[in-house]
Amino acid sequence: MNDPNRQSIIDSADIWVVKVGSRVLTDANGRLDRNQVAAISDQLIAIRNQGKQVLLVSSGAVASGIGCLGLSGRPTDLAQLQAVAAVGQAHLIQTYERFFAERERHVGQMLLTADDLDDRTRYLNVRNTLMSLLRFGVVPIINENDTVAVEELQTTFGDNDRLAAMVAGLLWRPLLVILSDVQGLYDRDPSDPSASVINSVAQIDSPVFDLVKDRRTGLSKGGMASKLKAAQFLTGSGSPVIIAGGRQENVLVRLSQGELLGTLFLPQSRGLAPKKRWIGFTAQCCGEVRVDEGAVKAISFEGRSLLAIGISEVAGDFAKGDIVSVIDREGKEIARGLTNYSSQEILQIRGCRSPKIEEILGQCPYEEVIHRDNMALVPAS
């Protein structure tokens, strides 16, 4: 069944960012499934032939390395995992290139770490490289650099969902498609026989996150929470996201035709500017400031800047120009922004009105600790 409204939203995207997880690319023994790689490659080329630009964020380096080295399973030693990832990444990109070259297309590899997107200059350099690859007609294939990204390898599911959202946030008019081992977001526990996939979600809010929380512990279960956070960021930036089963036959082409597969997360009407996307989701925080109820109201509901008078506590050691987290009295993060003052300076001026700043510091270069133009609200989860 095809849906004209879904078709219209998908057609509005200029660039498809497709994220494929390890479980979609591996066989029952945890090794790289070449037939699945071939199927994904064919579908990406089909989307490209429709006139859309395509990028692939692909997991699978460790699984590929396990097969290459003939290992019986996934190593537990970190150094060995990184070595396996190094071997596997080379084999993975060769496998993609082989399938693409047979169809007279080429791929380009980009291995990224969080630091590459944390620094504003490097962030823009990554974007420029991606756009150049697309102009050459190349399909960029992106992965986290598992040989140095320790946290990625030590978890049962990595953060390539977040990486894919970051990459999509670099681009103009993207559609993010997350191909998973589940068919989409279910309306209840997927183990319940009566559970069904939700076709579309208008807004990712607390009730949506509650669908992937254990009722007894209140903790998020599995990788769906990571996918929802990625989707929340991108839809809040004005772009659609689809989570769908990656082993469904010809899933990408069927999605491009508006077929009701997976879950479509609708874009919010007012998207974020590129700089605020970087502040709110991509850049890492160097510290935090705790604010009072008046500041929460001014920031969250009135769109105002953060002034020193609203700050009660400071945590971390940060400098002017760093990204800091703004939290309320209960410890909930409400915003992130570029600070005009260092942590040591804020400790001296917290709780003070702006005219007192010069008296305390000897100068008052800014009335705002964080200007609203350099601040991004953090959505509730």
Domain annotation covers residue 328: yes
- Nearest by Cα to 290 from 304, 305, 310: 310
For residue 36, what is the domain's CATH number?
A: 3.40.1160.10
290 in the same domain as 264 = no
338 in the same domain as 207 = no
Domain annotation covers residue 160: yes
289 in the same domain as 268 = no
372 in the same domain as 266 = no
Query: Which of 245, 273, 301 lies at the terminal end of a domain, its last residue?
Result: 273
112 in the same domain as 25 = yes
98 in the same domain as 246 = yes
pLDDT of residue 160: 86
70 in the same domain as 25 = yes
pLDDT (mean) for 111-117: 83
165 in the same domain as 293 = no
Q: Write down the pTM of the prediction.
A: 0.84
Rounded Cα distance, 142 and 111, in Å: 6
Q: What count of residues does the chain have? A: 381
Domain annotation covers residue 48: yes
pLDDT digits (tens, 9 = 90+) for 278-334: 898 888 899 999 999 999 999 999 999 999 999 999 999 999 999 999 999 999 999
pLDDT digits (tens, 9 = 90+) for 8-36: 999 999 999 999 988 899 988 888 999 99
- What's the total number of domains in the chain? 2
Rounded Cα distance, 84 and 54, in Å: 28
pLDDT of residue 72: 86
Give the position of tokens 């977001």.
185
161 in the same domain as 108 = yes
189 in the same domain as 101 = yes
Residue 212 is which amino acid? V
pLDDT of residue 156: 33
pLDDT (mean) for 208-219: 68
Domain annotation covers residue 280: no
pLDDT of residue 217: 47
Rounded Cα distance, 69 and 32, in Å: 12
Query: Which of 273, 293, 322 lies at the terminal end of a domain, its last residue?
Result: 273
| Torsion angle of the four alpha carbons 211, 213, 214, 219, in this order, in degrees rounded to the nearest 10 | -170
Q: Given a cut of 80, is residue 274 above it in pLDDT?
A: no
Average pLDDT, the chain: 89
Q: What are the b/e assignments for 21-49, b being 16+ CB within 10 Å? A: bbbbbbeeebbbbeebbebbbbbbbbbbe
Range of the domain at 304: 285-377
Query: Which of 203, 238, 273 lies at the terminal end of a domain, its last residue?
Result: 273
356 in the same domain as 331 = yes
321 in the same domain as 259 = no
Q: Given a cut of 60, is residue 197 above it in pLDDT?
A: yes
pLDDT of residue 178: 97
For residue 339, what is the domain's CATH number?
A: 2.30.130.10
pLDDT (mean) for 35-62: 95
pLDDT of residue 221: 47
Percent of the chain predicted with pLDDT > 70: 93
pLDDT of residue 379: 81
The more confident residue out of 379 and 326 is 326
pLDDT of residue 31: 87
